[in-house]
């Protein structure tokens, strides 16, 4: 497992984009897919600082994508 700490830059249905800074460009950070049973995405909002635990495997897309296994709001 790996972790990524940053700020939520975008919230979509079933996924969030987490970037290293609040002033992130659209392709900065990682797009994390969130399982419905894991967390209510409605509790997450742009600007929150989070730590996401995920499998180290990511796609080569821009931004890279991964499946989140755990999200902690800091």
The rounded Cα 48 to chain-centroid distance in angstroms is: 11
In this prediction the pTM is 0.89
40 against 3, higher pLDDT: 3
Contact (CB, 8 A) for 66 and 32: yes
Q: Residue 17, Cβ neighbours under 10 Å: how many?
A: 22
Total domains present in the chain: 1
Domain that holds residue 39: 2-73
Q: What is the pLDDT of residues 6-24, one digit of tens each?
A: 999 999 888 999 999 998 8
Compute the distance between CA of residue 73 and CA of residue 58 in angstroms, rounded to an integer: 22
Q: What is the pLDDT of residues 29-42, one digit of tens each?
A: 999 999 877 766 66
Number of residues that this document lists for the chain: 74
Confidence class for position 52, pLDDT limits 50, 70, 90: very high
Compute the distance between CA of residue 73 and CA of residue 17 in angstroms, rounded to an integer: 14
Q: Domain of 17: which CATH number?
A: 2.40.50.140
Give the mean pLDDT of 39-64: 88
């Amino acid at each position: 497992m790996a972790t990524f700490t940053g700020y939520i830059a975008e919230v979509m249905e079933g996924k969030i984009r987490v970037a290293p800074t609040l002033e992130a460009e659209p392709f900065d950070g990682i797009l994390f897919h969130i399982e419905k049973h894991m967390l209510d995405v409605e509790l997450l909002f742009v600007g929150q600082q989070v730590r996401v635990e995920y499998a180290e495997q990511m796609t080569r897309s821009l931004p890279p994508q991964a499946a989140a296994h755990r999200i902690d709001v800091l």
